[in-house]
Amino acid sequence: MINIFGQTLPEMTEMLMEWGFPKFRGKQLADWMYGRSVTDFSVMNNLPLKMREKLAAECVIDRALRVDQMDSSDGRTSKFLLNFSDGVGVETVLMRQPYGNSICVSSQAGCNMGCAFCASTLHGMVRNLTAGEMLAQTYYINDLLKQEGAKVDTIVIMGSGEPLTNYDNVLKYMRLMHEDYCLGMGYRNITLSTSGIVPNIYRLAEEGLPINLSISLHAPEDALRSELMPINRKYPMAEVVKAGAAYGNLTHRRVTYEYILIDGVNDNIKQAEELTDLLKGQLASVNLIPINPVVERNWNRPSLKRIGSFEKYLMQHNITVTVRREMGNDIQAACGQLRNRHIEEN
């Protein structure tokens, strides 16, 4: 069986034409599948019966199944554990923000980056997700919101996984979402977050898609960054920041550097100073993220006072800085924690 969820209109049209159906049937199929979110060929009543039968015999529209859900006490954040047909599960998060509905999509099942603070990587990586599987996460939540007369407004590819080591699938997913026959999502409403896969940052810059790029930095010097993020041994910090600068120059889009704040580890004023030196003059901003404590590690969030001092130092030295607003802490919204619970229970 061919899973057509995740195929582009040209791909579907080509298949249908090979079967002897006219070109316009492709658009009709896309309208049902992407426009109306229908998964059952038999209800696609403007398609000839023969075509519906052929589709049912050869294809499936494989979406995602909800296995578990957690809602924050304020009801604004919901985290879903979604399974694909091979039983592999991923987390997708819905955040109802004042500026719209934002979702956090996973790009891999698990992760093999090995970041010391991250729950997603504790069980390693199972596999890359296909474009269809990333799209299925998006449609799952978009369908939910549709019932309330709402939709997914912004997307962050910031769930489990390293999107730039699953480059082709992630690019296909972003392009597909943007298509009018799909979600018509503006590229400016999409953010991709990477741990710093340098060659693919350059490659992404060349694609000419006006998406937002976030780079996980988390430390202002190599020794500490390597300790927190082993990928730094392959792509050292200076090269990551150089790639970020090139991305900004080429796309004229401001790059965001994510910086987790861990009490006593990377939150000293001296480190704020080093961070300032590193990013001075770049079209960049810093997003400070007080760490979500992970039970497996003994790291905590700094006090509000320390967070404030770090932020203030950057601000006073002309670095654009924001502090991430807490959402869904009471539902373990830190990447991978819901999935881990299920893996460990089974």
Binding site for ligand SAH (CB under 6 A): 113, 117-118, 158, 162, 193-195, 216, 258, 260, 289, 291-292, 294, 334-335
- Compute the residue count for the chain: 346
- Minimum CB distance to ligand SAH smaller for 13 or for 92: 92
Q: How far is the CB of 272 from ligand SAH (least distance, A)?
A: 18
Find out whether 145 and 151 touch, Cβ atoms under 8 Å: yes
Task: Give me the least distance between CB of 194 and ligand SAH, in Å please.
Answer: 5
Sign of the C-alpha dihedral, residues 172, 173, 177, 182? Answer: positive
Q: What are phi and psi of 61, to 5 degrees?
A: -110, 95
**Across the chain, which distance is largest between two alpha carbons, in Å?**
70
Residue in 171, 203, 199 with CA at minimum distance from that of residue 187: 171
* Smallest separation (angstroms) from ligand SAH to the CB of 246: 18
Nearer to ligand SAH, 109 or 291 (CB): 291
Active site residue 115: no
Q: Which CB, 4 or 118, lies closer to ligand SAH?
A: 118
First-to-last alpha carbon distance for the chain, in angstroms, is: 29
Catalytic residue among 59, 91, 118, 182: 91
Say which of 104, 115, 182, 335 is annotated catalytic: 335
Copy the structure tokens of residue 345. Answer: 């229970």
14 is annotated as an active-site residue: no
Beta bridge partners of 128: 108
Decide whether 121 or 142 has the Cβ nearer to ligand SAH. 121
With 0-12 / 13-18 / 19 or more C-beta atoms within 10 angstroms meaning exposed / middle / buried, residue 3 is middle
Active site residues: 91, 335
